[in-house]
Amino acid sequence: MPFSNAPNGDLSRQLATSEAVSGGSGQQRMKVEKAAIPTMRKAFQRALDRLTPEVGQARSDLRIRPWAGDPVSSEAAAKFNDRSVDSGEAALGALEGYQQQLNNAVLALEEIERGYRGVERGNRDLMDDKQSGC
């Protein structure tokens, strides 16, 4: 889990800004303030939850069949299916790529959130130890 470089000292201050890494063809980084992480994660998750059923429906409903059974409609259907579903540049592929980016963002933000919770627990335990005289 990558964190921004910060001078040694209080870990909570060091973690004031984190970098979420999304997968895909190129690594992308975004700086995320600690307080914004839960809201961002929820927003990305809502978008993913709305997109996922649409992508599933598109997989089954986007493909068309030749409607007239003649060579012209066969060629038109083939070109439509190529552009919407089959080729590497098809609309469905773009939607699936977007879906994967949203999923990667959610996973990265969840990982950062878990890291913050772990650091906060460690800081709390350290303070409890100091207060109890250990």
Asked, for residue 58, whether it belongs to a domain, the answer is: yes
Helix (H) or strand (E) holding 129: helix 91-131
Position 88 scores a pLDDT of 83
pLDDT at 21: 44
Let me know if residue 84 belongs to a domain: yes
pLDDT in tens, 6-44: 333 333 333 334 444 444 456 677 777 889 999 999 999
Task: Answer for the pair 113, 41: CB distance below 8 angstroms, yes or no.
Answer: yes
Residue 31: per-residue pLDDT: 79
- Check residue 117 and give its pLDDT: 86
User: In this structure, is residue 103 part of a structural domain?
Assistant: yes
pLDDT of residue 95: 93
Q: Which residues contact 83 (CB under 8 A, 6 or more apart)?
A: 89, 90, 91
Q: Does some domain include residue 31?
A: yes
Domain of 77 in residue numbering reads as 11-118
Please tell me the predicted confidence (pLDDT) of residue 2. Answer: 37
Decide if 29 is inside a domain.
yes
User: Whole-prediction pTM value?
Assistant: 0.66
Look-up of token digits 């059974």: 69
**For position 133, what pLDDT does the model report?**
67
Whole-angstrom distance, CA of residue 107 vs CA of residue 2: 14
Residue 126 within any structural domain of the chain = no
Residue stretches of the chain with pLDDT short of 70: 1-27, 133-134
Residue 123 forms part of a structural domain: no
Total domains in the chain come to 1
The answer to whether residue 128 sits within a structural domain is no
